[in-house]
Amino acid sequence: MTEFIQAVRCHRYAGLDKMGKPISTPDPLSEVLRLEEIPAPSCSDGQVLIDTYYAGIQYPDTLQAQGLYQMKPELPYIPGMDVTGTVKSVGAGVEHVNVGDRVIAQMSIGGLSSVVSVGASNVWKAPPRIPLAKCANLGRNFFPAYHSLKTLGHITAGDLVLVDGASGGVGMAAIELAKAMGAQVIAGVSVPEKTSLPEAACADRVFCYGRDRDSYRKFKTDIKQASTEL
Ligand SMILES: NC(=O)c1ccc[n+]([C@@H]2O[C@H](COP(=O)([O-])OP(=O)(O)OC[C@H]3O[C@@H](n4cnc5c(N)ncnc54)[C@H](OP(=O)(O)O)[C@@H]3O)[C@@H](O)[C@H]2O)c1
């Protein structure tokens, strides 16, 4: 008997017209996404089937459902690039995780589904003390932040890091990681209402760069002053 699961599917790109050309104001995603019942995936060789507990929804997911991301999946498709959950079954050749393990997984599409099938090399055991709700955004927020700080920036303890766009997913991840690396962090946001987010991520100072030239000039003065104090 066919087993069914629940998944969110995108049936039309919200940011493209019928000819596939970008439109000036994308339609709301609620108009193109639907929660549906679909046949459950099977677990083939080298794959891991995961019962999804949490699925991260991040900036690239929105862009992709608008048809404006570098990868345009065939419609309808299931959005979602990062999940956490427990292993439901493993295919032949998979040895590093077992049924019941708490795992973190990333994929190019398919995360917004109650059961996902993921290639084994993109599945990792979640550390025991970390709640699954806290790590369902590792792939798209923390990996690029880590790459920027460590691979490109060679950040070490005592360095001073400036994070702009600091209220966003990658920005908040960059603050947390830079602090964990022992750096001091100055964070920038566009409006005062957004300062509480980088503050919650433990930025040492948060300033507004605003949306005009004068605000940006003041921002530069503020960070220069703060960098002498930190
Ligand atoms: N290479 C990769 O693998 C990778 C992965 C993920 C993301 N990214 C890139 O990293 C950047 C940040 O991604 P994110 O996931 O952190 O996005 P996000 O959560 O949407 O945050 C973006 C932040 O940028 C600021 N911003 C400035 N101008 C903006 C505009 N015109 N529209 C929207 N936000 C604007 C906003 O803060 P303020 O209003 O305070 O300025 C916002 O908080 C994006 O450019 C994304 O493409 C790259």
CATH of the domain at 121: 3.90.180.10
Within this chain, do residues 132 and 152 fall inside the same structural domain, yes or no? no
Which residue, of 86, 110, 136, is where some domain finishes? 136
pLDDT at 37 over 90: yes
Residue 197 Cα to ligand 1 midpoint, Å, equals: 14
Q: What is the mean pLDDT of residues 132-141?
A: 92
- Cα(171) to ligand 1 centroid in Å equals 8
CA 190 to ligand 1: nearest atom? 40
Average pLDDT of the residues in 41-70: 96
Whose structure tokens read 């891991």?
Answer: 48
Which pLDDT belongs to residue 47? 98
Which residues make beta-bridge pairs with 118?
48
Percent share of the chain, pLDDT over 70? 100
Q: What is the CATH number for 225?
A: 3.40.50.720
* CA–centroid distance, residue 137 to ligand 1 (Å): 14
| Claim to verify: residue 54 and residue 81 sit in the same structural domain | yes
Q: Which atom of ligand 1 is nearest to the CA of 188?
A: 40
Question: 125 CA distance to ligand 1 centroid (A)?
Answer: 28
Inter-residue contact 125 to 97 (CB < 8 Å): yes
Residue 166 CA, ligand 1 centroid: distance in Å: 9
Output the CA–CA distances (angstroms, integers) from residue 112 to 26, 80, 83, 96, 101, in the order listed.
21, 5, 8, 24, 20
Question: Whose Cα sits closest to atom 22 in ligand 1?
Answer: 168
| Number of C-beta neighbours around residue 183 at 10 A | 21
Q: Which of 93, 72, 94 is nearest to 10 (CA)?
A: 72
The pLDDT-based confidence of 1 (bands split at 50, 70, 90) is confident
Question: Domain total for the chain?
Answer: 2
Structure confidence at residue 2 (pLDDT)? 81
Please indicate, yes or no, whether residues 93 and 45 belong to a single structural domain of this protein. yes
pLDDT at 36 over 90: yes
The 10s digit of each residue's pLDDT in 181-192 is 999 999 999 999
Ligand 1 — pocket residues by CB below 6 A? 58-60, 140, 144, 165, 167-171, 189-190, 194
pLDDT confidence bin for 22, thresholds 50/70/90: very high
Mean pLDDT value across residues 21-33? 96
For the stretch 65-123, pLDDT in tens is 999 999 999 999 999 999 999 999 999 999 999 999 999 999 999 999 999 999 999 99
Range of the domain at 143: 139-229
Give the span between the Cα atoms of 61 and 75, in whole angstroms.
14
